[in-house]
Every structure is written in C-alpha cells, then in structure tokens.
Structure 1
Amino acid sequence: MKRHGLNPRPSGRGARQLLRDAADRLTLVDTGVGGADSPAASWAPVPGGLVGELAAVGVAPAEISTVILTHLHSDHSSGAVAGGAPVFENARHVVQRAELDAARGPTAEWVLPALEEHLHVVEGDAVVAPDVRVHLTPGHTPGHQIVRVGEVAMTGDLVLHPAQLDDPAIPYVYDDDPETAARTRAEVLAALRAEQAVLATAHFSDPFTRL
C-alpha cells in the first residue's frame, strides 16, 4: 500500500491521505473544505486545493474508487461535493451509521443529498478496501472513525493538538461529547502506542508522528 500525504497543514483545511493499493485502486481519506460556496466558507480558507493536489500527483477525481470520511464536519467532508454533485463520481463514500443518524445542519445538507447513491454505510469496525480498515472512535462526533493501513493510523479529529498525546483528557471545544472523546482518545492512543504506530494527523504541524 503506497501512501501520499496531501496538504498536511495545521489549518482549517486539514489534511488528506491518498492510498494506492497493489491493484492500483485509490482510496482518499477526507476531502477538505471544498469550494468557495461550501459550508466551510464561513470560517475556513476557501476554496480548498484538493483537486489541484491530486493533479500534482497524477490523479484525476474520477480515478478515486473509495472515499473515507472520518466525520461530517465541514473541513473534512465539504470537498466531497461541488455544484450539488459528487466530486468523486466513481467512488463509494464510507461513513459510519452513527454519523449519518446524528448529521444535522448545513454540512449534512450540502454533502448527504449529493452522495445518497454513493454512500457505503458501516457500523463499527470494518474492512472497506484491501488492507484498509475503519474503526469507530466516537466522541468528537457520534460516528467519528479512524483509518488503519498497516502501521499507520489516520486519525481525523481524534487528536487535535500534540499535547493530547501526553494527556488525552485535554478537551477540545468542538468535541460533541467531551467525556466520550477523552475516553476514546485515551483508549485508542494506548493501543496505538503499544504497537508503536504512526499517526497521520489532520491538524498537527508535522502530519506524521510515530508513537
């Protein structure tokens, strides 16, 4: 499994990961803020640069076969849709059932109708592509999920700041359920640390951290 990091900056744009498997299939983890008219425009730098970043590594949106959305906050999912249509028209979009059930507001209204026929809904841990697994990690949102590929864990917003690696109880103002988020963070980080896993984070200044 080959991994490309896309836009690994500690800003509202977040970070995305592009994975290419042995059969040349492509999986994208998160889609960023999207265009100037996306729900993220009220607070994040838009438009996002995802399509250009993909082009820089020789990938067209139509080549993506799987998109995994760690959660449905605007900086992680708005880029899945443009002009009311899926940007990655040939991809199934992996979302947790708990995330869909809780989805409300402008981002859900922007993303979900356009992706309705493209959704791959999972409940809990699941294998979603060769060597690619998702794990339910609730707290930041009810259906937040991380992505595992070998030793790498793509953590979405499980951790938002390096200080949380030392103290998982440090809260984040935008966690939907701070107590659950802290408990999940502690449990997942302990397991990943025991593996000496590599974190691929969305908002750290250094996108890759070995525990």
Structure 2
Amino acid sequence: MTRTVGQLTVTALQDAEGPFPSPRQECFPDATEAQWSAADAHDPAARGAGGEWWLRYRSYAIRVGDSGPVTLVDAGIGPAGSLAADWAPVPGHLPDELAAAGIQAADVSAIVLTHLHNDHMGWAVPGDSPFTRARVIVQQADVDVYRGNRDFTGQYDRLIEPLMAQGRLQVLDGDAPLGPGVRLVATPGHTPGHQTVLVEDAGESLLVAGDLLVHAIQLLHPELAYVSEADPEQARASRAKALAQAAARGTVLAVSHLGTAFHDPT
C-alpha cells in the first residue's frame, strides 16, 4: 500500500501482525465503553475475533522518484531471536515486504527509529539487519534512557553500541531536516526521544506517526493515555498538537499499529 506526496512515495510495509499480550482495557484504563465502540467502528480490523487488541507492526519506506535512495521509518520486530521475541509475533517479514515493493536492502540509505521500543528496531540491529550501509537516526533522549538501563533491556548493547562502533549511528536532539521534503519532528512522551517523520511536497503532507498513537481510540480521543507511555502528560500534549496540526493542514497519518495503515484527515 502506497501514498504519494508530490514526488515522494510512502510505502507501508507490514513486518507482522498478532494479538497484544494484555487486554486492551488494561492498556487504556480510562477509556469508556462508548469510546471503545466508536474506536471499533472507526478501525474494526484492530479488534480480533475474541475482542483482543490486534496489532500490525509496520515500517514505512520513503522514496523520492522511482529510483532514489530510500529512508526507512522504523525497523519492525525483527527475526526469531530479536529483542521482541518474548512478546511479539516473530519472526517478522520486513525484508520480504521490501523486496515485494521493489526495494533492495542496498537502496536503504537511512533508517529513522521513531523510538527504541523493541518492536520498532528489530531489523536495524547489527547482525540481524540486511541494511548494512544505512545510517540509523535516533534521538539523544532515547539513547540516554537505554544507556542508563543497559543491564536488562538490550537496546544499548545490541543496537546502540554496535552502531556507534560502525560509525552508522546519527544522534539528534530535536527537530531536524532529513532530506528534500522530509523532516524529523520531536514528539516526546511515549518515550523521551520519540520522533515522527513529516513528508511534504507540492502542497501535500503525510506524517509517519510511530507510537504517537497506538490505537484508534487515541485518534478519536487524544486525551486518553496508554499505560506504556513514559510520560503520559507529555505524550498527550505531543499527540494533541500533532493531530491538531494534521487536521488543520490536511495531513495524512501513517500509523504503526492500527488496522489500516493510512488515515486521511477528517
């Protein structure tokens, strides 16, 4: 599934899908039954047959023209032995998805990780990654978190430190241009260094949202907190600001985990 934004093409790539291990009501404890009903009507594919929260694990490929270099936003859950293997439906199939979209691993010049949760970085890990020449772009605030928790999370030892040793880690602090028509926007809260990717060209725009929102219930009710947000108040503010700007500008949202990849502005 693709969307065009002027001369840029954004392709949704599904690494995997499966049920979330916790009941969705526990993940959004403040949500009402009416809000769940509205969310299910808006995004019915995000609810499994038994009422469980059914997630897609997506990455997005951004390309200028038909043959330009590719920026990959997020890197999925990864192979069978990835850091997400204890809870997510590994192995993922991102390399096959890219090939089916006509994108070779060597075409990927940059990987933007919206944040360092292990279901977004699996195929960027050296040793598991086919993207051996791509720079990997993260925010300093997330690097700091995992440097301080390296004894039990694995992100620093398996991802950050090896990429630093290879000279492929690019660490930013806040908003930054990435290339023609592509800009990184800091949206902290889900993690301290969460970032989104804004694609703009020819009067059109698309926001690759990462985990700015993780379920349609937050799309309809941005005030609702998700239990895995590091700073719920900051996440709420980032989400409300981004969604308000998207609505005002007619920006398409490209989302990680909802049943449908692209959501048109309403």
Gaps of 5+ in 1: none
Distance 1:159 1:143 in 2: 15
- Under a length normalisation based on structure 1, what TM-score does the superposition of the two structures give? 0.93
Q: Percent of counterpart pairs with the same letter?
A: 41
Choose the corresponding residue for 1:4, options 11, 23, 31.
Answer: 11
**Contact persistence 2:213–2:239 (CA under 8 A):** yes
Distance 1:97 1:107 in 2: 14
* Per-residue deviation, 1:129: 2.0
The residue aligned with 2:247 is 193
Q: Does residue 139 of structure 2 align to residue 96 of structure 1?
A: yes
The residue aligned with 1:129 is 179
Amino acid at match of 2:227: V
Q: Does residue 104 of structure 2 align to residue 60 of structure 1?
A: yes
Choose the corresponding residue for 1:180, options 234, 240, 246.
Answer: 234
* Per-residue deviation, 1:29: 0.5
1:87 partner SS: coil
* Per-residue deviation, 1:114: 2.4
Choose the corresponding residue for 2:169, options 103, 119, 142.
Answer: 119
Distance 2:251 2:102 in 1: 28
**Contact persistence 2:126–2:132 (CA under 8 A):** no
- Under a length normalisation based on structure 2, what TM-score does the superposition of the two structures give? 0.75
**Contact persistence 1:160–1:204 (CA under 8 A):** yes
Distance 1:121 1:33 in 2: 21
**Contact persistence 1:78–1:107 (CA under 8 A):** no
The residue aligned with 1:110 is 158
Q: Does residue 253 of structure 2 align to residue 203 of structure 1?
A: no
Amino acid at match of 2:11: H
1:99 partner SS: helix
Q: CA RMSD of the aligned region, Å?
A: 1.7
Residue by residue, what CA displacement relative to the aligned partner does 1:125-178 show, whole Å, maximum 9, x if unpaired? Answer: 111122111100000000000001121000000011112122211111110111
Choose the corresponding residue for 1:170, options 221, 224, 241.
Answer: 224
Amino acid at match of 2:135: R
1:66 partner SS: strand
**Contact persistence 1:72–1:108 (CA under 8 A):** no
**Contact persistence 1:38–1:110 (CA under 8 A):** no
Residue by residue, what CA displacement relative to the aligned partner does 1:14-46 show, whole Å, maximum 9, x if unpaired? Answer: 111111114711110000011111110000011
* Per-residue deviation, 1:82: 5.0
Gaps of 5+ in 2: 1-7, 18-45, 47-53
When the two structures are aligned, how many residues end up with a matched partner? Answer: 210
Residue by residue, what CA displacement relative to the aligned partner does 1:35-92 show, whole Å, maximum 9, x if unpaired? Answer: 1111100000111101111111222212211111000001101221253x64311111
Which stretch shifts more, 33-42 or 53-62?
53-62
**Contact persistence 1:198–1:209 (CA under 8 A):** yes
Which stretch shifts more, 16-25 or 156-165?
16-25
The residue aligned with 1:152 is 206
Q: Does residue 95 of structure 2 align to residue 51 of structure 1?
A: yes
Q: Does residue 70 of structure 2 align to residue 20 of structure 1?
A: no
2:121 partner SS: helix
Amino acid at match of 2:225: P
Distance 1:39 1:144 in 2: 19
Max radius of gyration: which structure?
2
The list of structure 1 runs, each at least 4 consecutive aligned residues, that deviate by more than 6 angstroms after superposition, is none
2:78 partner SS: coil
**Contact persistence 1:63–1:90 (CA under 8 A):** no
